[in-house]
Chains A and B, each alone.
Chain A
Amino acid sequence: MVFLTAVNLIRSRGPDEWWRKRKIFKLAAYFYGRRRNCYSLAIRSVHRALVYATKSRQERKSDLAELWKQRITAGAAQHGIEYWQFMDGLHKNNIEINKKNLADLAAWEPASFESLAKISKDFVEKNRNK
């Protein structure tokens, strides 16, 4: 006897299922627990990971700007000046060094940073009396 009906009940999702899922598992290689081995868990984690990666590209810019601002503030505080005064003094004297390089100067070239702080302090002093 040949049973033909049972065969019709098998549901094939397609011949490329293994490769389709492999694309997801490759991205989930270092995930925790079942999220790297079970497809239905992995696909959710991978989608979230991709979303985080996209969003964090914007956040990285603001994170770094915040870090640079902190470092400039710390460097300026060593010379007795506040961040906004320091930046204001530089801009009003047409010194357009960006925050990244100012932070690098504060860390690696303290003498140059001191001279910049002096420019700002003199400017502040001059305008205080006005």
Chain B
Amino acid sequence: MNHSQFLVSGFLRAPIYNGIGRQINQLQRVTLKFCKSHGSSQGMRNFIENNLVDFAKQNDSVVLYVKPRRHRSPVIVAEYLNGDRKWMSCHNRPSEEILKWLSLLSLQAGDTEPIRYRKHWHTDVPSIQGPWNPFTHKNPGHIIAEYPHEGLGRVFKAPQSATEKLLKIAKKRNESENKKE
């Protein structure tokens, strides 16, 4: 079972994408889907008729799409600069409520959904003394060593390979056959 289906996981990080230069509106585009005839979309239709153009003028950085879909319930889909997407049902919602929700979405960033922290801390400097490496506790004498060196230049005897074992057996057998002859 994939836990990213229930809860997206991520690392802790500071939301430093805003406010360093200037405040940037994080909402990228909004898609309003509604039905032209069904009663559940009446609030949405009223909103589109009366309030949509003013909202667009106030939030000029947001792209608004209006999508009429037959026999479907009204929906707002908001997409943000970090790629996240918010889906909101507007079934039987009046136009004032839709305006309020849209205003809220325009003020939010994309990462308001809770995530499962893989680590409950974050550092840019995980190690102060330097992380362990295979040469940390080794004597650095090998750097200035002059070869031929008794200790460092010793030969490691490798264990007998399978080929060598077979050759040894074959040799023994040949010798014993020669002896018989």
Residue numbers of A with Cβ under 8 A of B are 26-30, 46, 49-50, 52-53, 75, 78-79, 106-112, 114
Contact = CB atoms under 8 A, between A and B. Distances in A.
Interface of B: 1-2, 5, 126-132, 136-137
Contact of A26 (B5, B129, B137): B5
Contacts of B131: 107-108, 110
27 contacts: A26-B5, A27-B1, A27-B5, A28-B1, A29-B2, A29-B5, A30-B2, A30-B5, A50-B1, A78-B137, A79-B137, A107-B131, A107-B132, A108-B126, A108-B127, A108-B129, A108-B131, A108-B132, A109-B128, A109-B129, A110-B129, A110-B130, A110-B132, A110-B136, A110-B137, A111-B129, A114-B137
A106 B129 CA distance: 11
Nearest to B132: A110
Contacts of B126: 108
A78 B130 CA distance: 16
Nearest to A45: B1
A106 B132 contact: yes
Given A78-B136, A106-B132, 15 more contacts: A26-B5, A27-B5, A29-B2, A30-B2, A49-B1, A53-B1, A78-B137, A79-B137, A107-B131, A107-B132, A110-B129, A110-B130, A110-B136, A111-B129, A114-B137
